Amino acid sequence: MTTATPTGDGAGGAAWLPDEATLARLANEFLAALPGERPVSGPPARELPLAAPGPHQAAVAPRLEPATALPVSQPAVTPPLTTPPVTTPPLHTPPVARPQVPPPQAGPGISQPERQLAQPAAQASGPRGTGQSFGLTSPGQAFELPGPGQAFTGPGIGQAFTAPALSLATAPRFYFVDELSAATLPAPAVTVDPQPGFDVERVRRDFPILAERVNGRQLVWLDNAATTQKPQAVIDRLSCFYCHENSNIHRAAHTLAARATDAYEGARATVAGFLGAPSADTVVFTRGATEAINLVAQAWGRRYVGAGDEIVISHLEHHANIVPWQQLAEQTGATLKVIPVDDDGQLLLDAYADLLSRRTRLVAVPQVSNALGTIVPVQQVIEAAHRAGARVLIDGAQAVAHIPVNLQAMDADFYVFSGHKVFAPTGIGVLYGKPEVLESMPPWQGGGNMIEDVTFERTRYRQAPARFEAGTGSIADAAALGTALDYLSEVGLPGIARYEHELLGYATGEMRSVPGLRLIGTAPDKASILSFVLEGYRPEEVASALDACGIAVRAGHHCAQPTMRRFGLEGTVRPSLAMYNTWAEVDLLVAALRRLADDAGRRR
Ligand SMILES: Cc1ncc(COP(=O)(O)O)c(C=O)c1O
């Protein structure tokens, strides 16, 4: 006899009730059967999650709540604020060889069909290398990524971004949010993308999460400086790796090791090509920008910086470009010097020139400030440092997704960035180093992968970049970083930069018109970032109120406390733009801020 398994969770629910997953599935089936209840414009509501939502509700699929689950109770939708749907196909097809998974071939003892290596390898970019390059698989053969058939089929954005009404479906955490209603929304100042060469709607369709609903509203992701969202191509790349390539790399005579090695080394070549680096050997994979800077501080710094030497940074630094140098200074007896900034957040280049001397060993500055958005004139900084005989590290964490970078033209000695800020996964980043500089550096960490030969008496190290990659790296994430950069190349960074520049200019003008709003960081040359404070509110209150409207922005010190304090603040609100943001989203942000500003008096 079989006994029905109780599915209650024991947390107060009756044991005979179906579990939450079953309830969610039943609800989905019920909703699917309702006639004509989906909103006519904007993306359809997503399926209910089959798993319980995580603790950070905004980051997960909608809960099983009527406001989200039942289309009939969706807030009234306003007419689309952007251009009508376009029918061009999404860009998410990665510009890499696509997989041709052959029909199953039964073989003795093989339950899963072994995939055939199909296409010849392309250039050294993306997951295109051949197994042969590592001597592990048949010559001239490569395989491809999953086809578009596996592409994301969830709600697209193709029907144009539909402005969510600003009335709340969920309980507000601030009373003034109640006031944000559709009735108060001004007509958007610009409804047509003024950059006709850049198809933002097409780009948006490649990012499934942009169709997510948060607090009953369509997500408006303006937290790109913290991390960017991922295109379907990147999501697929990760999945493909674990479905078809997963293996440790370099040291194995089997096919999957060759595939994984090709994916990893192919991504390295892609990074080099994307940054205009002289060769793939100048690209070291790290966990991110932070680890890359620490690597330079410890491996290069411990060898080349001594007592009495000076390290020059700026007042615009993320903590990741302060703390490792402080630690190095403590360890070596060196001194840290800081380039001041003016009230707009621009480096004072005369003061910088005065700081440089024969004692300067290293200058480390951001290409774009994460707190203010200032674009630093890195070319001038580098040339002056080199004249003084110093090396230069450029922190490109906030630049790579927004500005075309050519490292050979720039002539930086080191350049770092994080994959997750450039539409790739977390856990992967890059240190670029000039070949002669990397070769002159001792390893940072010791272990497997970085050695030529080990005895108990001594170890011989491999050349760069392997010398700096002890242990097993983030192989799939590296492959997906290659895909993200290929994707960016396909969209085209010059066009992205122009588009974002226009959008930033528009947002700046609109935000300036909000009463009581003070922009922090007003340099003429800026990228992506709009830091501000709003009279009558703490930054977190503003961010929280915006979140209730589905608008994600960051509030706080942005890991740049010295920068904040230069402006007499402990924190700001920081919307930050990326290529998929729109004029309509800026309008929503500004409308919400304007309403908050109007209500500021009532709170006092
Ligand atoms: C300018 C800058 N540098 C470095 C970092 C550190 O990046 P990660 O945390 O990805 O290592 C950040 C992150 O926000 C940043 O904005």
**For 71-105, how does the pLDDT look when each residue is reduced to its tens digit (9 = 90+)?**
222 333 333 333 333 333 444 433 333 333 333 33
Q: Which of 361, 364, 358 is nearest to 305 (CA)?
A: 361
Scan for tokens 């280049």, then name that residue.
Answer: 349
Which ligand 1 atom minimizes the distance to the CA of 226? 14
pLDDT, tens digit (0-9, with 9 covering 90-100), for 98-142: 333 333 333 333 232 222 222 323 333 333 333 333 333 333 344
Q: Is the pLDDT of residue 30 over 80?
A: no
398 lines ligand 1 (CB under 6 A): yes
Q: Is the pLDDT of residue 13 over 80?
A: no
pLDDT for position 576: 98
366 lines ligand 1 (CB under 6 A): yes
pLDDT band at residue 253 using 50, 70 and 90 as cut-offs: confident
Q: Is the pLDDT of residue 180 over 80?
A: no
**Nearest Cα residue to atom 15 of ligand 1:** 397
Q: What does the angle CA 601 – CA 217 – CA 402 come to, to the nearest 5 degrees?
A: 90
Q: Is the pLDDT of residue 179 over 80?
A: no
167 lines ligand 1 (CB under 6 A): no
Q: Which of 526, 554, 480, 563 is nearest to 226 (CA)?
A: 554
How far does residue 417's CA lie from ligand 1's centre (Å)?
A: 7
Q: Is the peptide bond before 465 cis (omega within 30 degrees of 0)?
A: yes
Cβ burial of 356 (10 Å; 0-12, 13-18, 19+) is buried
228 lines ligand 1 (CB under 6 A): no
290, 317, 372: residue to mutate for ligand 1 pocket, most atoms within 8 A of CB: 290
**Nearest Cα residue to atom 14 of ligand 1:** 226
What Cα–Cα distance (Å) separates residue 363 from each residue in 179, 275, 331? 49, 20, 18
320 lines ligand 1 (CB under 6 A): yes
Write the single-letter amino acid at 82.
Answer: T
**DSSP assignments along 237-264, one per residue:** HHHHIIIII-S--SS-SSHHHHHHHHHH
How far does residue 398's CA lie from ligand 1's centre (Å)?
A: 7
pLDDT band at residue 604 using 50, 70 and 90 as cut-offs: low
| Helix-helix angle 255-275:475-491, to 10 degrees | 40
Identify the sign of the CA torsion 208, 214, 216, 219: negative
Q: Strand runs (DSSP E) across 320-438, as ranges?
A: 335-339, 360-366, 391-395, 414-418, 429-433
Q: 77: which DSSP letter?
A: P
How far does residue 291's CA lie from ligand 1's centre (Å)?
A: 10
557 lines ligand 1 (CB under 6 A): no
CA atoms within 13 A on the CB side of 26: 7
Q: Is the pLDDT of residue 70 over 80?
A: no
Bridge partners (DSSP) listed for residue 338? 313
431 lines ligand 1 (CB under 6 A): no
> Burial letters for 439-449: b for 16+ Cβ neighbours within 10 Å, e otherwise?
eebebbeeeeb
Residue 559 designated active-site: yes
| Helix-helix angle 232-240:475-491, to 10 degrees | 150
pLDDT for position 602: 75
Which ligand 1 atom minimizes the distance to the CA of 288? 11
CA atoms within 13 A on the CB side of 340: 7
Please count the other Cβ atoms lying within 10 Å of the Cβ belonging to residue 188. 20
Scan for tokens 């001041």, then name that residue.
Answer: 340
